[in-house]
Amino acid sequence: MSDKNGNGAKPDVDALREDIAQTRADLGETVQALAAKADVKARAKDELEQTKAKVKAQAAEATGKVKEASLTATDKVRNVAAQATDKAKNTTGKVRGSGPAQTSGPAQVPGSVGGAHEAQEPAGGPGRAEVVRARVQENPVLYAAVLAGVAGVLGIILIMRGRRA
């Protein structure tokens, strides 16, 4: 009966205070967790920061890939330009080695007088295309060099576009 009346052993006061402090700490953590879940603005900000970090990582990866691709393209353009130069040199050697004997005067092109073109083509004379064809056959090195130069300029343009991206 003494237990029912509260006359039994009294609980330790220090243990009760410790228990109360622990309960308060647990309750404080729970309240903070609920507040964090309820704070939509802060959660959105955290999510935004995570997304920014992901995008920056993806951009860095893409930049690396683009740089690698531009280096590959640069190497390919250089190889093609070197091949074009070699072909032009080979063609020059073939033309010089197997072509007709060179004259000391200006080259005669069909439809021209003394190396200069007439103001008007005579009736039945060669057309512009035939004159150009004759010039190319006469000196293919010049046209091969121009072609190689155009290829080089195009390669440089492609490289520069790749660096801007």
pLDDT at position 160, please?
Answer: 82
Contacts (Cβ under 8 Å, ≥6 apart) of 43 = 36, 37
Q: How many residues does the chain have?
A: 165
pLDDT at position 22, please?
Answer: 95
Per-residue pLDDT of the chain (165 residues; tens, 9 = 90+): 445 555 555 678 888 999 999 999 999 999 998 888 888 888 888 899 999 999 999 988 888 888 888 888 888 888 888 888 888 888 777 776 665 544 444 444 444 444 444 444 445 556 788 877 777 777 777 778 888 888 888 888 888 887 765
Q: How many beta carbons lie within 10 A of that of residue 144, not counting itself? A: 20
Q: Rounded to whole angstroms, how far apart are CA atoms 13 and 15?
A: 5
112 φ, ψ (degrees, to nearest 5): -120, 155
Q: Which residue has the tokens 């007088």?
A: 113
pLDDT at position 54, please?
Answer: 93
Cα–Cα–Cα angle for 118, 123, 126, rounded to 5 degrees? 65
**Strand, helix or coil for residue 2:** coil
C-alpha dist (Å) from residue 161 to 1, 66, 74, 158: 97, 11, 11, 5
Domain spans, the chain = 13-94+128-164
* Both structure tokens of 128: 């512009």
The reported pTM is 0.34
Q: Rounded to whole angstroms, how far apart are CA atoms 32 and 13?
A: 29
